[in-house]
Chains A and B, each alone.
Chain A
Amino acid sequence: MKILTHPTSSVDSTMMFIFVAAVLTMPIWLTPIGAAYPDLMQRFVIFGLFATGFNILFGLTGYLSFGHAAFLGIGSYTAVWSFKLLGMNPIPAAIFAVVVSGVFALIIGYVSLRRSGIYFSILTLAFAQMCYAIAYSDLIGKFLGINLTNGETGLRVLADDPRIMDGVLTSGIDTSALTVNLFGLDLTHTWVWNGFQFNAGFYFCAFVLIIASYIAMRIFRSPFGLMLKAVKTNQNRLNYTGVNTKPYTLAAFVISGMYAGLAGALLCITDPLAGAERMQWTASGEVVLMVILGGMGTLMGPMLGAGIIKFSEQKFSTWGKPELHEFLAFIPDGIRDTVVSVASLFVGSGWHLTLGLVFMLIVIFLPGGIVEGGRRILMIVTGSNRRNRQIQAAAQAAE
């Protein structure tokens, strides 16, 4: 069984090293494709983290949650409340976000994991939509008589919030600008060197992502991770042999919920505003797309998927007919207008059509996602024999 053979630790170390180097040099190698500005790079990293966490549940156990955006939102609201009450330091915000989203994940997971398959998915979706509705209309806040989520307007840090630790931790540094600072280092600060933008907030997120991916890798390689893979392969058989799988799946659910909460906190650390819309079901669906597009159950796939989706969102959603005309300038004039008017359906607000098409193609022809595509190409290049490839493909399908 190829699926169970662990890559050696030296392979993992090499992969981790390449990954760290790639993340840290993003401001440089993303410049040629016009993606090297702080906001987008932060998104790559944050959604990469979100997808990595989601993959621990979906990729390893096969439980498909349609409600992970709820934890993203809960993490965001917790982080902003931490800013409001404790001060503009990202570390307590991140810790509280992880703890609170973990508690919510425990409750939602405990109930939802009583079922599996489609019923599990629907339960998580229902919980997430409930969370969304509660946050959007600030139902708990109205009940308690306080402004908990600030509804549609979104929760922000205000000048007259207590922020009790701001004076203590960062004495002498004025924090009335209401941007997040790490013991005085303003995370919105960008160092510019030769035109490359090195943003403090991006490196904070990158640092968190690197630690989180290392933890994810250890989970993948641990006996616990093996148990989760066993759940995915055949949960019934495990139950018959007397193994209680529920603690394992619940633990995976809570861990991935905590990753989502951390990603939510990072969204607020780079931009201290929490809106209810990031809890909507479309956000939950997006992370599923990221994981499948990149390659579920693989270590780097989800991060690739997140990067590709966020990149195309930024590019295609801002395109219009003028950009298309420029892009398709090589086509003769007469035909170009027709081509452009057809293609314009797939950009701008219609870019989801493009995403849908790409997703369909991936699912049909490349069920293992981009990572599988990469493997196939690698095998063609290195000239592995056909039989080997078939085994690999079979293993992928079983995953």
Chain B
Amino acid sequence: MLRDITLGQYYPIDSVLHRMDPRTKLFGTMAYIVSLFIADSLPVYAAAALFLVIAIRMSKVPVKFMVRGLKSIVILLLISVSFNLFLTPGTTIFKIGFLQMTWEGVEFAALMAVRLIFLVLGSTILTLTTTPNQLTDGLEKSLGFLGKVGVPVHEVSMMMSIALRFIPILIEETDKIMKAQMARGADFETGNLIQKAKAMVPLLVPLFISAFRRATDLAMAMEARCYRGGDGRTKMKPLRYENRDRVAYAVCFVYLAAVIGMKIIL
């Protein structure tokens, strides 16, 4: 019942995007997000759409699976669209009370919706094609320069990868405890808000206990293998750029240049 969460979930198949260096994908995603924020005309959106479609095709992840991730932003999308629709000043289409819909509002809301959807789809490609471990490895390496100014980059990335690693474990654990309490007649679905909150106690107490137990076990296991933080630590699989990464960087730069160019000319 809790297994249907797709946001931040890795899709295990083989594709060029899956094999790409995580730093390249991070850069690509950043470039894409930047391009979305400077986009203000139709040709730029078209370029962004093209970039997205190519990336989705290259990732070989079924479109159906990606679109499912959009469900989580439907409410956010509705709110932002309705705000833009009714609160943008301009030529009025019709008016109810203090709410007025304007042509500018329609245009702005549509662009906003497209921007948000593109944003989520773009970052979903990153998480669908990159395992959490690769992702934090990439982040650690890319942000390594911050270590020089005293930011504990390695520790933060280690914390991140552990947190990410524990999400599926905790989901599974929640599922198991929920079932065990349901087998004892617990009811998580009916009742008012207070009753529902009370019904969570038999779920949350065991869940917290098991999370703490797992955390101590993990800390113990790491210390037993002499983990002392990042200093002098080497990687079993160091990140190395391949030719496909160089090509991808080139494509991203060309895309970014094109978008900026269009912005200046148009």
State whether these chains interact: no
Which residues of A line the B interface, CB within 8 A?
none
Which residues of B line the A interface, CB within 8 A?
none
